[in-house]
Amino acid sequence: MSAKRGPTRQSEKDRKSEKDLTRDLIKRMDDCPNAEALNARVLMPFMAALEDVCAARGYVLNVYGEAANLVFTGDADDAEQIYQLVEGYLDAKDG
């Protein structure tokens, strides 16, 4: 039986690095004049990096938040189906 481990402690350096990354992302996002620029300059590169890392590790990633949901699947057809489901839901909700 393995012992349970508590939460890992972050070093001050790690916390600073995370804060620096957050500030950098906010600046990059603020520099985008519209949703299209935000998507092209920040969101898509971030998603591509996240997809590469997850794929390399064999992850299927689902992140649910209060204002956004992020879903990874193992198949491009699944991604299109999920997109259609979300679009249908939003259309019905607004309808």
**How do residues 23-69 score in pLDDT, each as one tens digit?**
999 999 999 999 899 989 998 898 888 878 888 887 766 665 567 77
Check whether residue 54 and residue 77 sit in a common domain. no
Given this model, what pLDDT does residue 74 score?
A: 66
Question: What's the total number of domains in the chain?
Answer: 2
Calpha distance 40→34 (Å, rounded): 10
Distance of CA 20 to the CA centre of its chain: 18
Check whether residue 64 and residue 53 sit in a common domain. no
Check whether residue 47 and residue 66 sit in a common domain. no
User: Is the model more confident about 18 or about 80?
Assistant: 18
Q: Does residue 7 belong to any structural domain of this protein?
A: no
Given this model, what pLDDT does residue 57 score?
A: 85
Check whether residue 53 and residue 64 sit in a common domain. no
Residue 41, domain extent: 14-58
pTM of the model: 0.53
- Angle in degrees, CA 61, 58, 47, rounded to 5: 50
Check whether residue 53 and residue 68 sit in a common domain. no
The phi and psi torsions of 8 (rounded to 5 degrees) equal -70, 145
Q: Where are the alpha helices (DSSP H) in 1-95?
A: 12-30, 35-38, 44-57, 76-94
